[in-house]
Amino acid sequence: MGITRREFLQLATLAAGVTVISPQSLARNLTPENLFKFKSKGNITILHTTDSHAQLIPMFYREPDINIGAGENKGKPPHLTGKDFLKYFGFQPGTLEAYAYTSDDFLSLAKKYGKVGGYAHIASIVKRIRAERDGKVLFIDGGDTLQGSATALWSRGEDMVWVMNLMGYDVMTGHWEFTYPEERVLELITMMNFSFVAQNINDATWGDPVFKPYVIKSVNGLAVAIIGQAFPYTPIANPLRFIPNWSFGIKDDNMQKVVDEVRAKNVDLVIVISHNGFDVDKKMAGRVKGIDVIFGGHTHDGIPKPIPVGKTLVINSGCHGKFLSRMDMEIKDRRIVDFSFRLFPVMSEMIDPDPDMSKLIEEIRGPYKSKLDEVIGYTEDVLYRRGNIDGTFDDLICESLIDYYDVELVFSPGFRWGRTVLPGPITVDDVYSQTAITYANTYKTSVKGSMLKEILEDIADNIFNPDPYRQQGGDMVRSAGLNYTLRVNEKMGKRIQDLKVRGKPVNPDKEYTMAGWASMSEQSGTPVYDILIDYIKKKKTIRVKLDRPKVVL
């Protein structure tokens, strides 16, 4: 006689922080008891999410197969993938951990373990942890939260503020939030039941702080300072026209002043919620003294344990709602004397979704459900984006622009957000998860061959410069009609070699026709999501073959 639903639920309650249901879970032989096991410790618990990109519902998300580190970060977390990642952190191939943290055997493991994330599922975990750790929980978010989906685009971020209010967040910082633009950001902040902090954003004319640099929260009798570090390169990575009155930057010196200021107030714990990116966080931790923990984001890296830099612990919590970080600490005499950490993969088919959050999500998506769920075509390949060099969904976008504009080459930005689509149907929702930005208009232009190399060299230096403070995030620009060799460890000006357009060496003096989207300057061409939807409908069946540049390490 098989196990009953009641017996299964009773066993599942052994899993800390989650209620487990679903006959599918039984069929797949999942082990939530092991996945969510956590021994509570100390007098405070900090929960951290980041880079969800407004993905409200469960989805598939493939981790990168290429994540190249430059300089002293070469071969160190997060620049490990596949078997190297598993070996470093002590996980076995073919396991749930392998599925959560790597792209190895992705398709078969995706079919076995199912979708990840979803705010209703995160809310369920958070509620259980709060019940277990009554009055001891601080919940923070690292930004890139109000952008990335159709409903976030159409509501200009407001739907995600409703979600975050219901979740009970305490503090957040930002990046893509600033593309709504600055006037709308200030409106959204007035709707928040939680704090928005950023020590590194100032009035561009007068230098005054735009936001609170920090807040101090009382948690279980402890005074906790939470300092915000917004994405420092926003005016470079995104159009300056969206934030013309604000200046950004890393601003180490000011960060040190803020840390010193809160330390002078005798706080018990100093944490930073950062959108720097992991390598930048590590460098900052080595330069700014007095930070206990940096909870980082931007580079979308799920790292299973904190990385110590001097006396600071550096954490990165993945993206797209796929992970929830939990850190329990014992604070005594204003220092961490003990801690436990777990980066929980949010395996949505193991978790009973929270009914209140489910209702809100249904209210948000309901008016658009028929449009979002429309099947526009089918793919024979896994469509994904994340990876330093290329992604199949990016190649699909490039193909659609080549078809629409009839040009020689296409550039598409190396964004790191966007869900993964398994072989099968492609929906309108899938397309918007890759393209939902406030500057999605496309363009057609011409570019000299000499300028092509300059563009690629500049982008490559932004990603692979040995100094993390000269890296502006993102992955290598995606392209079609273009081939080249990328020599990662060469200096600026020598990384891009053997550059060809349509199989022929680039003529520096020739003008080539090109198309693109997400321009830094304002464009009026058809939005990329409309072009892509029409292209998929026309093709009906999608087959994508990666045509990645040759990479020399």
Q: Quick one: pLDDT at residue 35? A: 67
CA–CA separation, 553 vs 76, rounded Å? 15
Checking if the pLDDT of 26 tops 80, the result is no
- Give tens-digit pLDDT for 274-287: 999 999 999 999 99
**Of 543, 297, 518, nearest to 414 (Cα)?**
518
Confirm if 326 and 88 have CB atoms less than 8 A apart: no
Confirm if 139 and 324 have CB atoms less than 8 A apart: no
Confidence class for position 33, pLDDT limits 50, 70, 90? low
Q: Quick one: pLDDT at residue 472? A: 79
**293 and 202 in a common domain:** yes
The two most distant CA atoms of the chain are separated, in Å, by 77
Residue 93 lies in a domain: no
Q: Average of pLDDT values for 514-529?
A: 97
Q: What is the strand order of the sheet 269-274 is part of?
A: 214-219, 222-229, 269-274, 293-296, 312-316, 307-309
**242 and 154 in a common domain:** yes
Checking if the pLDDT of 205 tops 80, the result is yes
- Give tens-digit pLDDT for 489-504: 999 999 999 999 999 9
- Boundary (domain end) residue, out of 330, 363, 396: 363
Residue 68 lies in a domain: no
How wide is the angle at C-alpha 118 spanned by C-alphas 121 and 137, nearest 5°?
Answer: 50
- Give tens-digit pLDDT for 406-447: 999 999 999 999 999 999 999 999 999 999 999 999 999 999
Backbone angles phi, psi at 428, to 5 degrees: -60, -40
Q: Average of pLDDT values for 339-352?
A: 93
Q: Average of pLDDT values for 38-50?
A: 95
Query: Whole domain around residue 331: which residue ranges?
Result: 38-61+116-363
Backbone angles phi, psi at 67, to 5 degrees: -145, 95
Outline where 62-180 has alpha helix (H). Answer: 82-89, 96-101, 106-113, 119-132, 150-155, 158-167
- Boundary (domain end) residue, out of 329, 363, 397: 363
**461 and 313 in a common domain:** no
Confidence class for position 548, pLDDT limits 50, 70, 90? confident
- Boundary (domain end) residue, out of 305, 335, 363: 363
Residue 110 lies in a domain: no
Checking if the pLDDT of 5 tops 80, the result is no
Q: Quick one: pLDDT at residue 25? A: 36
**Count of domains forming the chain:** 2
Q: Average of pLDDT values for 352-370?
A: 97
**384 and 242 in a common domain:** no
Q: Average of pLDDT values for 524-545?
A: 97
Residue 139 lies in a domain: yes
3-state secondary structure 173-190: CCCHHHHCCHHHHHHHHH
Confirm if 436 and 372 have CB atoms less than 8 A apart: no
What is the torsional sign of CA 294, 299, 304, 310? negative
Confirm if 15 and 35 have CB atoms less than 8 A apart: yes
**402 and 327 in a common domain:** no
Confidence class for position 39, pLDDT limits 50, 70, 90? confident
Confidence class for position 170, pLDDT limits 50, 70, 90? very high
**405 and 384 in a common domain:** yes
**289 and 190 in a common domain:** yes
Confirm if 457 and 535 have CB atoms less than 8 A apart: no
Checking if the pLDDT of 231 tops 60, the result is yes
- Check which CATH number belongs to the domain holding 454 and give it: 3.90.780.10
Checking if the pLDDT of 1 tops 70, the result is no
Q: Average of pLDDT values for 524-528?
A: 97
Residue 140 lies in a domain: yes
Q: What is the pTM of this model?
A: 0.93
Q: 83-97, 298-312, 468-482 — which is least confidently predicted?
A: 468-482
Residue 521 lies in a domain: yes
329 conformational bin, left if phi > 0, alpha if psi -120 to 50, beta if neither:
beta
Helix (H) or strand (E) holding 214: strand 214-219
Peptide bond into 425 cis (omega under 30): no
Provide, rounded to the nearest whole percent, the portion of the chain with pLDDT above 90.
Answer: 90
**281 and 382 in a common domain:** no
**Of 162, 169, 160, 102, nearest to 137 (Cα)?**
169
